[in-house]
Amino acid sequence: MRGLSNWLPQIRRNYDLYLLLIPGLVFLLIFKYTPIYGLVIAFQNFNIFKGIGGSEWVGLQQFERLFHSADFGRVMANTLLISLYKIVFLFPIPIVLAVLMNEVGRMWFKRSIQTIIYLPHFLSWVVIAGLFVNILSPSTGIVNGIIGFFGGGPVNFFMDNDFFRSILVATAGWKESGWSAIIFIAAIAGLDPELYEAARLDGAGRVRQIFSITLPGIAGTIVLMLILRIGSVLEAGTEQILLLYNPTVYETGDVIGTYIYRMGLTSMEYSFSTAVGLFESVIAFLLVIGGNQLAKRITGRSIW
Amino acid sequence: MTPSRSRPLSEVVYVAIVYVVLTAAGILCLFPFLNVLAKSLSANWAIVSGKVGLWPVDFNLKNVGFVIMDAMFQRGLVISVGLTVVGTLAAIAMTAISAYPLSKKQLPGIKFVLLLYIFTMLFNGGLIPNYLLIKNLGLMDNLLSLVLPGLISVFNLLLMKNYYESLPESLEESAKLDGASNLRIVLWIIIPLSAPVFATISLFYAVAFWSDWFHPMLYLNDPALKPLQLYMRDVVLQASDENLMNLDNDLLLGVSPEGIRNATIIVSTIPILLVYPFLQKYFIKGILIGSVKG
Amino acid sequence: MTRKKWFASASVLPLACAIVLAGCGGNNNDGNAAATGSAATGSGTASQGAGTKDKPTLKLLRYYMADDYNAYPVNQFLQEATGYKLQNDVLPQENPSDKLNLIMASGSEYDLVEAMNKQDFFNFAENGALTDLTPLIEQYGPNIKRAISAESLAGATVDGKIYGIPTLNVSYVRSDLLIRTDWLQKVGKQMPTTLDEFVDVLKAFKDQDPGGNGKNNIPMTISPTALLDNLMGAYGIYGLWMELDGKLVSVVNHPALKDYVTFIRGLYEQGLLDKEFATNKAATADEKFTSGRAGVYLSGWSAIPGFDEALKKNVPDAQYQFVPPLKGPDGKSGFTKNGGFNKITFVPKTAKHPEDAIKLVNAMLEPNTFKELFIGKEGETYTMKDGNYMPIDPAFFDKRGQANAFVIGMDEANFVQYWQARLQKNKPMFDNYQLVNSVPEDQIHMDPLAFAPYLPKLSANSDKLSTLVNDRLIQMIVDGVSDSGIGSLQKAWKDAGGEDVAKEVNDWYASQK
């Protein structure tokens, strides 16, 4: 009650701010919350012709089907490992790129590099997979050519379980790092130049300025991006892996998305694919909530 | 930014490292694009036999010409450009307005609304209810079905909100003391200061509207409405591995040659690539908060 | 909360309505359909152009093709010949079944819809989403009854009612090993006729490097598939299912499977089979053959036009042809023949003009209309030569190249002959098509399931099972073959539902005798 009496004057004073919320809430209601009833088909054996009302309820059967499928353990482990590697190795790269970009004085150079490093984002995995199969080919690929030049034997990267995950991480990093850097470049651009000026007067070197001004300045963005990235830990890159893997590397490369695809469960198995999606959503939700709390405690910054 | 006359050696080395690393990254990222470009300008036989690297072999403009002259391509281009421009403008307006109140976390109820947004980022009803929604709204075979559901991307909303939060409180407070309403503050103080984040999210929205092929595939049946990306995806996927097994052999006789596939990729990617250099100045300049303050 | 519920039910409602309305849809249409019906019968086939005004625009939902249906010359021809205006919408290239399901379940207004997939068709029929065509064909479909055999129609029949118009596919041997005959000459070998001779040739390709490729020389390359046409035939394996002692047996339980995989594994181990085959994309495998690095390549004849030009540019005196059936250790040999339905076209229950839809199909199957739809006019798009239809390039390919996408039902007596015209576009393709399709009948083994009706377990599991088999066999070719490996393949196959499918398939097969 006391809360309420505190709230009302605040709301009254800022009523125009609350009005600004309305278009967004209408949008949410129509396009996001109206269709959300569809999640219940995860607990059904959904027949599209009978609709939700007419389909049979099966409880948790669809989830059991996922957890009890033959290769679930391996697939789950691969998913987590590949995602984890991608986060650990790839999350910092765009930040480093953005920071380095900020150190560049020559405009033409800065502009060209920025424009170039985001190009790979626009090529589809179909195209990129074809390119990398050529580059890494044991017989004609340039990488094995270099290895051969230094006296090493050819490595069949795509058939070697020791290398496959590294290839996934490297190709994903190469495709998306430049694109992801844009967010940090923009965040840095938003920093007040006076801060740098002041630091310079204090005699801080360029490296010191990075740690005392640039990084703290974009910490909010970094935390936001990291929390969201951790939330998508169960999406290890299905499209990428589907186009890069082959039966000899299922042991290390098969993830939830590819497994379900190969089992032919993506089409027409509406209930099962919804169940898998719901499972991923719940995990993501927990991770995002947890990540937010953790970030709040450690850095004092959080999404909400 | 201007080079000073007496730089310490350590700084020279440092700058050199920065340039080397970025140049290396640039080369790595440029290479595949050059390869696709070279293929789009090469004869089919040379591509099929793996002869094309970074330079065209048996140079010709036939592939590019063929793509550009194709009626389905031209129609798709017009639709995509229109869709992207309209969609991006509408989405930016919507996001900029919706994000501002969310940056005032201390106000009652705001955190709850924020959670409402974030929830939809992680949970969605799936294919069937979304399809039925569009059908019930009467938007099937209507380009609005591609714009309306994309008006707010929660990710962009959060970026925007984050940026608003990073602006110094003092700005708004002084305006409030002058008796400005919240709306005035947004329109005259906040938005003019938000060039970098506007540039970022307009890029993200433009790319999202431009590259969307899934929703057009779902909501459009009339081939005359097909945007460019759906057309491109069809051309590129036609001979990809998985599809080879499913397609009837007869149909395979119509597979487009490699040169045309690569030309399609290049020609349909270039328009969106042009957006970035145009927005770039807003990333680089930074903003002079001090001048606004004064 | 309540509002949300309201929204939810508002969106579910149409689903229910679609089903309810499906029942009354027919009644609504009866009035105007009868009217148009009499008009069309009155005008007859000869002067159909006159009746255009009375005829409705028909909406068709088509399968994906690269060209625009509505702008393609065949569409113009069909509108003139039948008097109906046709609006063709198109399913997406990717996962067409998903979208087809959505469209059908939410009440479709299309008059004719194509399914490439038997499973979808039977699913719709069983859920009451289709119009029973039996009386319509009886009344308006004399050409349909004449052109399409009773056996074919039986393939689109559920509970004694015809729900679809089946379009027959050409049955043919699809792929075989292409061999560089100029390499054969260079190493002084004859065209192999047995597996031993074949291995001998590959060894000569490897040791003598007739292409002068040095370390990049590849005796034989393939896409990442494990069941290789011709080679598996030498072990009496003709695909995923075959008849053994009157029963249908899956390849995983074929007694010769281990010997076959061991043989391929041997090729791989000795460096006769491309070391990188498991990572090949279709394009990389093509590349190895067209750049002149590979001596043998497993390929379909339809792919030949795609790389013939490239190979000739890279190696001007290159010669190649399909290898005839190779005899295995027990004297077995043979190719696998594919066939069945290309698609089944049906009339949704909610269609606006069911009678006109059938009249359209009937008009399309009128023999001369069908012929002109399929290959055009003599002298304009084709000529006759020695009883064969020869295409006029480029008119034929511009105006009729995609004609088979427009067909609804085949003039089954004639279409194979018409169809071959398009193969003449490329001589190497035509010659090699002839080569593998003119071997003695006993060397050609029809896929026993090609004309099977809808078998639910088979439909649901066949892709999964074939992926599983292919994956496991590739692993064995790369890592080694053992009894336990075969055993675990059999077990995995069984666990994935293989046993149930085998039972279902055999029950059907037994009922056929």
Q: Which two tokens stand for residue C72?
A: 């393609």
Quickly state the pLDDT bin for C410 (edges 50, 70, 90). Answer: very high
Mean pLDDT value across residues A14-36: 93
Mean pLDDT of chain A: 89
Q: What percent of chain C has pLDDT over 90?
A: 63
In this prediction, residue B249 carries a pLDDT of 42
Cβ–Cβ of B221/C61 closer than 8 Å?
A: yes
3-state secondary structure of C351: coil
Residue B285: pLDDT over 60: no
Interface test with A, best of B2, B11, B29, B148 (most A CBs within 10 A): B29
Q: For residue A159, give the nearest of C128, C278, C472 by CB distance.
A: C278
Residue A75: pLDDT over 90: yes
SS3 content of chain B, % helix, strand, coil (to 5): 75, 0, 25
Q: For residue B223, give the nearest of C90, C102, C287 by CB distance.
A: C90
Are residues B184 and B42 located together in one domain of the fold?
Answer: no
Residues 64-93 of A with CB under 8 A from B: none
Q: How many CB contacts within 8 angstroms connect chain B with chain C?
A: 118
Q: For residue C101, give the nearest of A134, A246, A268 by CB distance.
A: A268
Asked if residue B2 is part of any domain, the answer here is no
pLDDT in tens, C310-348: 899 899 999 999 999 999 999 999 999 988 888 999 999
How many C-beta atoms lie closer than 10 Å to residue A152's C-beta? Answer: 10
Residue C231: pLDDT over 50: yes
Cβ–Cβ of A266/C95 closer than 8 Å?
A: yes
Q: How far apart are the first and last CA of chain B?
A: 23
| Burial class, A1, CB count within 10 angstroms (exposed 0-12 / middle 13-18 / buried 19+) | exposed
pLDDT in tens, A109-137: 988 998 899 899 998 888 888 888 888 88
Mean pLDDT of chain C: 86
Q: Which residues of C touch A29 (CB under 8 A)?
A: 3, 7
Asked if residue B1 is part of any domain, the answer here is no
pLDDT in tens, B220-239: 999 899 999 998 888 877 65
Q: Which residues of A touch B119 (CB under 8 A)?
A: 285
Cβ–Cβ of B158/A189 closer than 8 Å?
A: no
Q: For residue C14, give the nearest of B71, B135, B230 by CB distance.
A: B135
3-state secondary structure of C338: strand
Of residues B192 and B132, more confidently modeled:
B132
The answer to whether the CB of A214 falls within 8 A of the CB of A131 is no
Q: Which two tokens stand for residue B172?
A: 């708004």
Residue that is last in its domain, among B40, B60, B80: B60
Mean pLDDT value across residues A7-31: 90
Interface test with A, best of C279, C471, C494 (most A CBs within 10 A): C279
In this prediction, residue C464 carries a pLDDT of 87
DSSP state string for C182-193: HHHHHTT-PPP-
Mean pLDDT value across residues B161-188: 83
Asked if residue B153 is part of any domain, the answer here is yes
Interface test with B, best of C102, C299, C311, C416 (most B CBs within 10 A): C102
Q: Which residues of A touch C15 (CB under 8 A)?
A: 48, 51-53
From the CA of C281, how many Å to the nearest CA of chain B?
6
CATH code of residue B281: 1.10.3720.10
Residue B61: pLDDT over 50: yes
Q: How many CB contacts within 8 angstroms connect chain A with chain B?
A: 246
Residues 151-210 of C with CB under 8 A from A: none
Are residues B104 and B146 located together in one domain of the fold?
Answer: yes
Instruction: Tell me the pTM.
Output: 0.87
Mean pLDDT value across residues A197-209: 88
Are residues B211 and B263 located together in one domain of the fold?
Answer: yes
A10, B102, B173, B185 from A18: Cα distances, Å: 11, 10, 18, 14
Question: How many domains does chain B divide into?
Answer: 2
In this prediction, residue C319 carries a pLDDT of 95
Quickly state the pLDDT bin for C119 (edges 50, 70, 90). Answer: confident
Which of B70-74, C30-34, C255-259 has maximum average pLDDT? C255-259
| Burial class, C379, CB count within 10 angstroms (exposed 0-12 / middle 13-18 / buried 19+) | exposed
Are residues B141 and B275 located together in one domain of the fold?
Answer: yes
Phi, psi of C168 (to 5 degrees): -70, 145
As a whole number of angstroms, the distance between CA C395 and CA C380 comes to 7
Q: Which two tokens stand for residue A251?
A: 């042991």
3-state secondary structure B169-219: HHHHHHHHHCCCCHHHHHHHHHHHHHHHHHHHHHHHHHHHHHHCCHHHHHH
> If you measure CA to CA, which chain C residue comes closest to A270?
C98
In this prediction, residue C14 carries a pLDDT of 40
As a whole number of angstroms, the distance between CA B56 and CA C468 comes to 41
Are residues B26 and B74 located together in one domain of the fold?
Answer: no
Partner residues linked to C243 by β-bridges: C248
The answer to whether the CB of A91 falls within 8 A of the CB of A229 is yes
Mean pLDDT value across residues B247-261: 58
DSSP state string for A194-218: HHHHHHHHTT--HHHHIIIIIHHHT
Q: Which residues of B touch C394 (CB under 8 A)?
A: none
Amino acid letter, A244: L
From the CA of C326, how many Å to the nearest CA of chain A?
28
As a whole number of angstroms, the distance between CA C165 and CA C344 comes to 6
pLDDT in tens, B137-162: 999 999 999 999 999 999 999 999 98
Torsional class of C103: left (φ above 0), alpha (ψ -120 to 50), beta (otherwise): alpha
In this prediction, residue B96 carries a pLDDT of 92
Mean pLDDT value across residues C456-483: 90
A112, B93, B110, B274, B283 from B198: Cα distances, Å: 21, 10, 22, 17, 10
Are residues B114 and B21 located together in one domain of the fold?
Answer: no
Q: For residue A49, give the nearest of C129, C278, C460 by CB distance.
A: C129
In this prediction, residue A174 carries a pLDDT of 93
In this prediction, residue B247 carries a pLDDT of 37
pLDDT in tens, B81-128: 999 999 999 999 999 999 999 998 888 899 999 999 999 999 988 888
In this prediction, residue B284 carries a pLDDT of 61
Per-residue DSSP letter, A29: I
pLDDT in tens, C12-53: 434 333 333 333 333 333 333 333 333 333 333 444 444 455
Q: Which residues of A touch C467 (CB under 8 A)?
A: 262, 264
ipTM: 0.90
Residue in this structure with the two tokens 């910054």, named with its chain if needed: A301
Q: For residue B25, give the nearest of A7, A117, A217 by CB distance.
A: A117
Domain range for B251 is: 61-291
Partner residues linked to C384 by β-bridges: C389
Quickly state the pLDDT bin for B292 (edges 50, 70, 90). Answer: very low
pLDDT in tens, C150-197: 989 988 998 899 999 999 988 889 889 999 999 999 999 999 999 999
User: Could you state, in order of their start, the residue ranges of all structural domains in chain C?
Assistant: 3-171+340-366, 174-337
A76, A138, A168, B193 from A244: Cα distances, Å: 19, 15, 8, 44
Are residues B55 and B66 located together in one domain of the fold?
Answer: no
Mean pLDDT value across residues C419-427: 85
Q: What percent of chain A has pLDDT over 70?
A: 98
CATH topology of domain C174-337: D-Maltodextrin-Binding Protein; domain 2 (3.40.190)
Residue B252: pLDDT over 80: no
Are residues B80 and B176 located together in one domain of the fold?
Answer: yes
Q: For residue A52, give the nearest of C12, C128, C470 by CB distance.
A: C12
Stated as kind and residue range, the H or E segment containing C73 is helix C73-82
Residue that is last in its domain, among B17, B40, B60: B60
Residue C7: pLDDT over 60: no
As a whole number of angstroms, the distance between CA A101 and CA A214 comes to 12
The answer to whether the CB of A39 falls within 8 A of the CB of A279 is no
Residue A86: pLDDT over 90: yes
Quickly state the pLDDT bin for B6 (edges 50, 70, 90). Answer: low
From the CA of A232, how many Å to the nearest CA of chain C?
25
Residue that is last in its domain, among B60, B80, B98: B60
Cβ–Cβ of C471/A49 closer than 8 Å?
A: no
In this prediction, residue C53 carries a pLDDT of 58
In this prediction, residue B86 carries a pLDDT of 97
In this prediction, residue C259 carries a pLDDT of 96
Q: What class, spelled out in words, does domain C3-171+340-366 have in CATH?
A: alpha beta
pLDDT in tens, C371-400: 999 999 999 999 998 888 999 988 998 899
